[in-house]
Amino acid sequence: MYQLYIANKNYSSWSMRPWLVLTAFHLPFEEIMIPFPVERNTGTFKQDVLAINPNGKVPVLIDHDLMLGDSLAICEYLAEQHPDQHLWPQDVKQRARARCITAEMHSGFASLRNACGMNIRAHLAEVGKRLWQDNAELRQDVARIEQIWSERPDMNGFLCGEFSIADAFYAPVVTRLMTYALPVSESTQQYMQTMLRHPAMKLWIEAALKEDGWVNYLESYQSSRFSRVWVQ
């Protein structure tokens, strides 16, 4: 059985990606949570992660004596270990496209990441409105994501046909667009609802909403704790 080390589900977008893949494709794994500290550079988070991964980051996948400390490398490894599960699309062209847009997400969209940190519990529509007005690079990132999503083969389906690694990599964007209420097209909202209905996505969000961990340095837009109700 695999072991997957993750951080808080409310905040950790990189943890979310391989977790969704493992869960969506029913691959047996043990989830091990290493929560972020309440204040930056306090607690034992860094030491705990360094004990298993020399780059000091999560997620981390352990398979016997193999350690993988990168979300895309983890998902590629899982796809190779379980070829019958088709973690990448079966169609050769869609598979190539899935890899391309996954790599783009893995390395890009810095403005969206920096301005709109993942925070599933929060409702930050007013913050999102201000960011949208003031941040042209954020608008460009969202426009590119909308373009990618608009090219899915079926407007009622996933990015490259059936649910795949590509969808898992864009899943945190769905939560960001919800949290910050960024203005997006009807087609984009349709894909968001498709993702929000996926069983693995539901499980992650439900767990994130139940978390009571609060990380001050990831709550720069809020001064007090509160939760939101996700309605699909």
66, 96: one domain: no
Exposure on the CB side of residue 130, measured as CA atoms within 13 A: 6
102, 168: one domain: yes
DSSP letters for 136-194? HHHHHHHHHHHHHHHT-S-TTSBTTBS--HHHHHHHHHHHHHHHTT----HHHHHHHHH
142, 52: one domain: no
Q: The whole model's pTM is what? A: 0.95
Task: Answer whether residue 215 shows pLDDT above 70.
Answer: yes
Is 228 among the domain residues? no
126, 155: one domain: yes
65, 176: one domain: no
Q: List pLDDT tens digits, range 94-137.
A: 999 999 999 999 999 999 999 999 999 999 999 999 999 999 99
Domain's final residue, options 38, 70, 85: 85
Q: List pLDDT tens digits, range 203-212.
A: 999 999 999 8
pLDDT band at 222; cut points 50, 70, 90: confident
Task: Answer whether residue 224 shows pLDDT above 90.
Answer: no
Is 217 among the domain residues? no
Which CATH number fits the domain that encloses residue 134? 1.20.1050.10
Task: Provide the pLDDT for residue 225.
Answer: 54
Is 55 among the domain residues? yes
- Give the chain's domain count: 2
Domain containing residue 153: 92-212
Domain's final residue, options 85, 113, 137: 85
3-state helix, strand, coil in the chain (%, to 5): 50, 10, 40
